[in-house]
């Protein structure tokens, strides 16, 4: 403590190592941290590389284009990930990036193939008696279409007979239009199979919370970062998201919570429910004819997120561990291969069982060690600092912190049980960030002295404290250019040291926005017509209700009924001065009626049409003497897709 006080008193006399903060280079502290990190792990082990290349058949050489000519995926963008890790990348993350950048069509076992390395997720193709069974058709249509075309070219042309969505995250269903069409569904009897609750859970994440989530996705996945050794090297779970429009095709069949055994185009699928683990709606399945276990995203070659940085419901680590245990107990000894919706497979029964045991142990470890410390009175942040790691993480790269981390996942476990409050009274009703920052900077003696505190911390390699100080200066005065530069450089060093691809991206996107401003870098959209047209009308109105601003509401309200004849859907909206409440079905008390197709209503929402133009063309019939529809739409806040994050 005495040394710390002396250090603070001497700040005014401290000399800086940099005339200006460094950009794009690793400091001595970062070089040392990364070297020490590499020394703790068997970085040179080649087992994962042998598995990631096993069964290679062919690959896509040229960029994959969307219908509008834009690039959905460039297969060569990660060619730079070769050789030894540079000083600007954590060596463990560099290794994972090299593995994830291996791309092409691969044979898992005869009859099961994977398209890997053209999106964040992998697409699995299973040969049925008459056609393909497609599992998880990627995020956007173009890579899914290109992957299927490659398989048809190499393995022979086959029609798609069924598509399986293993769970309710967009990178596993958004590209379905690339492998099946509406005509296939109508005339060819293609099945779309998903876990129970799939539609509601996919809506909850991509529509109700879609605006904020898509903005946060830019940070988690580094969508504004070019591929390179000082920027994007991967996400850990995969290299990046493909670019294009996400669509949602509703399932034709849902797998029950109790699991089912189905025969799909001659192939037996034994489904096991995995809901409320990695996703609210999820299943895994076993293929007895192939002795193959598909673990969806429940067990992959990384530690996953318990609370993902983009935002989602907190996941249940205790149940997660028990679902993996059920997979291990039921299928571990029966499986010659374990494959998943990300990464490369694991072959050999002993290896499959070891992988499942370690994955099971990982989620149990973070759960139990968080709760052990919490029950001894430790706070959320104290637990995260002292969580440690299980012994097998020292040798099993498949449980490393590439996507989720023990640090932030332990906080998620704490939050699931206790909420956001750490039981410290001072933290229960804190000042808003900008207001608090003004007071912090004033207490330090002003911006210049606060900057000196931050620069001293930076020069000593204490980047977490430096980030805290510089962030206060920026939030106290967003126009302080020197504070922005120092905060950006501090974030950059934190990113260069991070083992988690998500953490690296969060820091580096923050640095980029501080330096260059907040530009639109969205690469996918979940608020497009392909999604909005395919969700139940009442859920669409629940999403609209989250934009309702009472301060903009004019009049006393009432009930207005929306009729969508072609879908046989009716939604009644009870509108008052404080909220709008949608309910499925008609309401006899409705004083206004709107009749329109869902397609045209979506055009209204996406501003491709106006209410007056739809009425004039006859596409919309409006009986609304009290002006309720006008009041409703005028009370909705506009969608702000690019709200500020690193500045107030």
Nearest to 562 by CA among 502, 614, 507: 614
Q: What is the architecture of the domain spanning 41-418?
A: 4-Layer Sandwich (3.60)
How confident is the model at residue 524, as a pLDDT? 55
Of the CATH numbers 3.40.50.1820, 3.30.1050.10, 3.20.20.140, 3.30.70.260, which one belongs to the domain with range 536-634? Answer: 3.30.1050.10
Sign of CA dihedral 332, 335, 339, 340: negative
| 447-459 helix and 481-497 helix, angle to the nearest 10 degrees | 20
CA 199/CA 185 separation, integer angstroms: 17
E runs forming strands in 142-266 = 159-164, 191-195, 244-245, 253-255, 261-264
* Residue pair 497/86 in contact by the 8 Å Cβ criterion: no
What single string gives the DSSP state of each residue in 80-119? T--SSPPTTS-HHHHHHHHHHT--EEEEEETTEEEEESSS
**Cβ contacts of 6 within 8 Å, gap of 6 or more:** none
Considering the chain, what is the average pLDDT of its residues? Answer: 94
**3-state secondary structure at position 3:** helix
Largest CA distance in the chain: 79
Sign of CA dihedral 276, 282, 287, 291: negative
How confident is the model at residue 6, as a pLDDT? 34
Residue 20 Cα to chain centre, angstroms: 35
* Residue pair 496/461 in contact by the 8 Å Cβ criterion: no
CA 640/CA 648 separation, integer angstroms: 15
Nearest to 491 by CA among 471, 476, 475: 471
* pLDDT tens digit sequence for 226-263: 999 999 999 999 999 999 988 889 999 999 999 899 99
| 447-459 helix and 433-443 helix, angle to the nearest 10 degrees | 90
How confident is the model at residue 202, as a pLDDT? 83
Place of tokens 């969307």: 66
pLDDT less than 70: residues of the chain: 1-19, 204-206, 521-527, 530
* pLDDT tens digit sequence for 270-285: 999 999 999 999 999 9
| 317-331 helix and 406-418 helix, angle to the nearest 10 degrees | 110
Sign of CA dihedral 592, 596, 600, 601: positive
Phi then psi for residue 226, to 5 deg, are: -70, 150
* Residue pair 305/404 in contact by the 8 Å Cβ criterion: yes
**Cβ contacts of 471 within 8 Å, gap of 6 or more:** 437, 487
Record the pTM. 0.92
Please state the domain extents for the chain.
41-418, 536-634
Name the burial class of residue 203, with classes exposed (0-12), middle (13-18) and buried (19+) by CB atoms within 10 angstroms of its CB.
Answer: buried
Q: What torsion, rounded to 10 degrees, do the Cα atoms 13, 17, 22, 25 define?
A: -150
Structure-block tokens of residue 290: 């192939």
Length of the chain: 648
CA 568/CA 531 separation, integer angstroms: 18
How confident is the model at residue 18, as a pLDDT? 57
- b/e 557-566 (16+ beta carbons within 10 angstroms → b): bbbbbbbbee
- b/e 226-250 (16+ beta carbons within 10 angstroms → b): ebbbbbbbbbbbbbbbbbbbbbbbe
**Cβ contacts of 16 within 8 Å, gap of 6 or more:** 455, 459
CA 286/CA 270 separation, integer angstroms: 5
CA 432/CA 68 separation, integer angstroms: 43
- b/e 82-106 (16+ beta carbons within 10 angstroms → b): eeebbbbbbbbbbbbbbbbbbbbbb
Sign of CA dihedral 373, 378, 379, 385: negative
């Amino acid at each position: 403590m005495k040394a710390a006080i002396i250090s603070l008193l001497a700040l005014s006399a401290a000399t800086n190592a940099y005339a200006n903060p460094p950009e794009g280079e690793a400091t001595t502290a970062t070089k040392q941290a990364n070297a020490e990190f590499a020394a703790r792990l068997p970085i040179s082990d080649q087992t994962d590389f042998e598995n990631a290349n096993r069964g290679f058949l062919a690959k896509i050489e040229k960029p994959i284009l969307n219908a509008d000519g834009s690039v959905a995926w460039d297969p060569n963008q990660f060619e730079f990930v070769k050789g030894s890790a540079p000083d600007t990348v954590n060596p463990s993350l560099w290794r994972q990036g090299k593995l994830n950048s291996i791309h092409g069509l691969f044979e898992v076992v005869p009859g099961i193939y994977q398209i890997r390395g053209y999106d964040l997720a992998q697409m699995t193709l299973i040969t049925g008696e008459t056609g393909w069974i497609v599992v998880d058709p990627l995020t956007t249509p173009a890579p899914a279409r290109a992957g299927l075309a490659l398989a048809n070219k190499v393995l022979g042309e086959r029609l798609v007979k069924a598509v399986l969505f293993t769970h309710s995250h967009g990178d596993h269903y958004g590209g379905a239009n690339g492998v099946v069409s509406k005509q296939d569904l109508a005339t060819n009897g293609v099945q779309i199979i998903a876990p129970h609750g799939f539609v509601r859970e996919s809506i909850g994440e991509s529509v109700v919370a879609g605006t904020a989530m898509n903005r946060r996705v830019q940070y988690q996945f580094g969508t504004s970062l070019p591929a390179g050794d000082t920027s994007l090297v991967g996400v850990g779970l995969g290299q990046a998201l493909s670019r294009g429009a996400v669509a949602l095709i509703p399932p034709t069949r849902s797998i029950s919570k109790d699991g089912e055994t189905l025969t799909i185009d001659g192939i037996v699928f034994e489904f096991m429910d995995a809901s409320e683990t990695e996703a609210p709606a999820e299943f895994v399945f076993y293929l007895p004819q192939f002795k193959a276990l598909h673990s969806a995203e429940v067990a992959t070659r990384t530690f996953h997120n318990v609370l993902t940085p983009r935002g989602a419901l907190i996941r249940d680590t205790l149940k997660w561990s028990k679902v993996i245990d059920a997979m291990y107990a039921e299928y571990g000894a029966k499986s010659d291969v374990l494959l998943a919706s990300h990464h490369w497979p694991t072959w050999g029964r002993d290896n499959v069982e070891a992988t499942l045991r370690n994955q099971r142990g990982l989620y149990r470890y973070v759960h139990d060690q968080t709760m052990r410390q919490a029950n001894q009175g430790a706070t959320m942040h104290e637990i995260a600092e002292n969580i440690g790691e299980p012994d097998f993480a020292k040798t099993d790269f498949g449980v490393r912190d590439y996507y989720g981390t023990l640090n932030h996942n332990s906080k998620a476990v704490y939050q699931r049980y206790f909420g956001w409050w750490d039981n410290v009274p001072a933290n229960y009703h804190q000042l808003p960030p900008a207001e608090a920052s003004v007071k912090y900077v004033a207490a330090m003696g002003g911006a210049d002295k606060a900057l000196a505190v931050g620069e001293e911390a930076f020069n000593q390699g204490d980047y977490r404290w430096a980030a805290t100080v510089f962030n206060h200066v920026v939030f106290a005065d967003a126009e302080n250019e020197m504070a922005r530069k120092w905060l950006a450089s501090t974030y950059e060093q934190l990113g260069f040291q991070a083992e988690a691809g998500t953490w690296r991206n969060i820091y580096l996107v923050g640095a980029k926005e501080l330096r260059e401003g907040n530009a639109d870098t969205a690469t996918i959209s979940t608020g497009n017509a392909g999604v909005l047209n395919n969700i139940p009308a009442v859920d669409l109105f629940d999403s609209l209700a989250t934009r309702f601003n009472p301060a903009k509401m004019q009049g006393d309200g009432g009930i207005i009924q929306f009729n969508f004849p072609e879908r046989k859907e009716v939604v009644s909206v009870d509108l008052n001065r404080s909220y709008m409440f949608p309910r499925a079905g008609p309401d006899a008390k409705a004083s206004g009626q709107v009749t329109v197709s869902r397609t045209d209503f979506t055009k209204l929402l996406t501003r491709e049409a106006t209410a007056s133009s739809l009425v004039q063309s006859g596409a919309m019939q409006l009986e609304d003497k009290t002006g309720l529809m006008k009041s409703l739409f005028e009370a909705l806040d506009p969608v702000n897709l690019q709200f500020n994050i690193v500045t107030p």
